[in-house]
Structures are given as C-alpha cells and as structure tokens.
Amino acid sequence: MVFERTYRRGDTGPAVAEVRAKLAVLGLLDDVADPLAESDSALFDEATDRAVRLFQQQRGITVDGIVGPQTYHALDEARWRLGDRILSYVPARLIAGDDVAALQQRLLDMGFDCGRVDGLFGVETEHALRDFQRNVGVRADGTCGPATFKALNQLARTVVGGRPHAMRESEAIVRAGPALAGKLVIVDPGHGGPDRGVLGHGLDEAGLVYDLASRVEGRLTATGSSAFLTRGPDGVMDEVDRANFANSAGADLVISLHMDAHDNVEAAGCASYYYGNERLGHHSAMGERFADLVQREICARTDLCDLRTHAKTWDLLRRTRMPAVRIEFGYLTSPGDAARLSDADFRDVLAEAIVAAVQRLYLPQDQDADTGTLRIPVLRL
Ligand SMILES: [Zn+2]
C-alpha cells in the first residue's frame, strides 16, 4: 500500500485496519481478533495510539502516535523473520527488514564484516555473505536462500564477540588524520521549500537552519575542508535523497541541522542524535562520539539547556555510511530559545561549536582540546 498521508487517533478505514493488523502481528495490540476483517470500520482508537507509540519508542522513531511514511515502513520491515523470504542485493531498491538485520548480526558475530547492522541489504552485506558462503562451502552467489539459511542455523552463535564495524569506523577516523583540509563535510539544513519545519515566535525552522548551515559552511571552508549543503535556501529534498547524496559524494561526515517545537512553552534546550537502534542493541560508535562532542561544545559555549545525546533510526542517520549527527538546537516554541536562536551572533557561536566538534573528532586523544576552548579561524571575505 502506498502511504501518502498520515493517520492518527480518530481516523478510520482500510489503511487503519492494515496498521492495526501489523501491530497485532508484532504483539503490540492484543484486542483485535481479525483486524483485516474490520476494513472500512477499523478505528484508530486509544489502544492503537498506545501501540503505535510503544512501537515508535522501540524503533527509535519520533514518538508522536502518528503513522506517516516512516512509521509505516518501519512497521512493514518489522514483520520479517530470517528465513521468511530470500534476501539478495537489489541496487535499485535495497531490501529492508528485521530479517536483514538478523542476518547482518549473525555475519558480524561470526567475524564477517558487513558494515553496520542497519537492516538494509546493501553491497557490504552481499560481500560479507559471499565470504561466509565460501567459508562454509555453500555456492557463493551472495543470495540468502534455503542452503544459506541452513548453514547459518547450523553455525548459529558459535562465535560471538568482536565489533568489527566499530573498529573499522574508528580506524577510518585515525587514518584520515587530524587536518581538516581535504575532508568533505555534508551540512544538511532540514526541511526546505514548502516544508518550513516547526514555527514559533515569528521564526521558521527551514529558514533559520539554512542560515546556520551557511555559517557552518563558511567556517569549514576557512579550515581548508570542503562543505556541501544538501539544499539551497528554497530547495526541497527528502531524507533518503539527502542520505544518498552524502553517500555518493563520499563524505567524511554529515551534520543535519534542525529545531524543535512543543505544545508546552516550557520545553527548551538542545539535543544531538546519532544512528542507533535500542531494541536491536546497535549503534554507530563514531556517530555517538561525534554527537557527544557536538553536544558538549554547544552546551559549553551557550546557555542552552543540555538535553543530551540519543540514538535514533531516522533515515538520514540510518542510510548514511559515515558518522552522522542530527542536532535539534532548541525549541522555537520556547520564548527563551527563540530569542537566542533569532540572534545572528548566537548562531555564529553555534556554528563555531560545530566546527570545533568536527576538529576534535579528528584530533588524536593527546592533542584533544578542553571542551569549549578550541577556536576556529573565521573566514574573511
Ligand atoms: Zn526539523
């Protein structure tokens, strides 16, 4: 089913029936006898709302009780168990699902490096699978079919340990060296075009984060690194395309800029997010380190409330192959945050904090600076 609109409490119809059926299969909704039989009369009731929120919580999706494209796709991916279907690398449209994540975890546990466990059957998963197949004497066709499932089951959990991907990620950072010159950073101002993001106190997120992205870009360029923005002042691009852009550019890092909003005007502060799935127990180690540095630099240099770092599975974090961070700088609905963020000097401080975090990510431990102290030269035009 093509999911073009969003569904929430109070909605009815076949799409709601489908959502309820998927939640029931996952054991999150237990008061449904035959959800598909409900069809037109299916109601997005309070129990559905609770189940959706629980599911979103488990999956690292924004918990809002609303089923839009991302929650719908995650529901669809969650139903697959390893062995349910044949898995292979389909470049045009990567196969996604919990079965792929389970396969990746098995491969990693046995020492076959398939990159990170992201539930997407990409080229690295195929390589690791061929390696595994060669090792166990199954035809090395890179396709996970009956013979491979059997071999996987026989070898299940014989070897556990090692975190090849985490090690490889940090090796890449060390190999890249401390100089920012020559590095490519993708700076992603969220939203754009007709999608203005959140609004508050006469400010709009899309405009503010574009301004901030330009400031970050200027500072990065002054250090000799290259910075690409994912969109122009009025451009539009969806999250998956933004991730593909970063991957095909071969970027070293991705920094996504957002601002938040809340019904409660008291909600305020800055949070940073990295790729991770709490339920499956995976996260990007370098993404977490990068988010931690960004968060610490921002909170040391400003008086924004520290809402800490968190793991999320948002497309931009999940589908990028390099350390990526998404920063939610503050709440436009908070009078205090809005006043800060509307001030150009304050945005300069934020930009400097981000570039300092980028620099620190590449500095060897013994050369690392104290939080809040690193000064980056400002571009003079
Ligand atoms: Zn946003």
Give 54-81 pLDDT, tens digit per residue.
999 888 888 999 999 889 989 989 989 8
pLDDT at 90 over 60: yes
**Rounded distance from Cα 297 to ligand 1 centre (Å):** 21
Ligand 1 centroid to 257 CA: how many Å? 7
**373: CA distance to ligand 1 center in Å?**
29
Distance in Å, CA 204 to ligand 1 centroid? 10
Tokens found for residue 185:
């950073």
Determine whether 281 is exposed, middle or buried from the number of CB atoms within 10 Å of its CB (0-12, 13-18, 19+): exposed
Centroid of ligand 1 to alpha carbon of 127 (angstroms):
35
Please name which of 62, 53, 138 lies closest in space to residue 326, comparing C-alpha atoms.
Answer: 62
Which pTM was predicted? 0.70
User: How many angstroms separate the alpha carbon of residue 117 from the centre of ligand 1?
Assistant: 25
Q: What count of residues does the chain have? A: 381
Give me the phi and psi of 253, to 5 degrees please. -145, 155
- Return phi, psi of residue 190, to 5°: -65, 160
User: Residue 95 class from Cβ within 10 Å (0-12 exposed, 13-18 middle, 19+ buried)?
Assistant: buried
Q: With 0-12 CB in 10 A as exposed, 13-18 as middle and 19+ as buried, what is 192?
A: buried
DSSP-based three-state secondary structure for 307: strand
pLDDT band at 158 (very low <50, low <70, confident <90, very high): very low
Is the confidence at residue 366, as pLDDT, over 70? Answer: no
Expressed in angstroms and rounded, the spacing between residue 119 Cα and the centre of ligand 1 is 24
Angle at which helix 14-25 crosses helix 46-59, to 10 degrees, equals 60
The two beta strands, 306-312 and 270-277, are parallel
Closest alpha carbon to 309 in 323, 234, 128, 249: 323
pLDDT score for 321: 85
Query: 329 CA to middle of ligand 1, Å?
Result: 10
Would you state the pLDDT for residue 33?
63
Q: What distance in angstroms lies between residue 74's CA and the mean position of ligand 1's atoms?
A: 20
How many whole angstroms from 206 Cα to the centroid of ligand 1? 8
136 vs 358, residue with greater confidence = 358
Of 56, 65, 61, 55, the residue nearest 11 (C-alpha) = 65
Find the radius of gyration of the CA atoms of the chain.
Answer: 22
* Beta strands, E only, the chain: 184-189, 199-200, 203-204, 226-229, 253-260, 270-277, 282-283, 306-312, 324-331
Residue 224 predicted with pLDDT over 90: no
Q: How many CB atoms lie within 10 A of CB 78?
A: 21
What is the average per-residue pLDDT within 243-258? 93
- Dist. CA 7–CA 19, nearest whole Å: 9
234: left (phi over 0), alpha (psi -120 to 50) or beta: alpha
Q: In terms of C-beta density within 10 A (0-12 exposed, 13-18 middle, 19 or more buried), how is residue 297 classed?
A: buried
Residue type, 95: I
The one-letter amino acid at 135: N
* Residue 261, pLDDT above cutoff 90: yes
Query: Could you tell me whether strands 282-283 and 270-277 are parallel, antiparallel, or unpaired per DSSP bridges?
Result: antiparallel
> Counting beta carbons within 10 angstroms of the beta carbon of residue 59, is it exposed (0 to 12), middle (13 to 18) or buried (19 or more)?
buried
Strand-pairing partners, residue 265, are none
Cα 190 to ligand 1 centre (Å): 5
| Cα-to-centroid distance, 198 and ligand 1 (Å) | 7
pLDDT category, 380, cuts 50, 70, 90?
very low
Residue 161 scores a pLDDT above 50: no
The pLDDT-based confidence of 159 (bands split at 50, 70, 90) is very low
What average pLDDT does range 284-306 have in this prediction?
94
pLDDT confidence of residue 281: 66
End-to-end CA separation in angstroms for the chain: 52
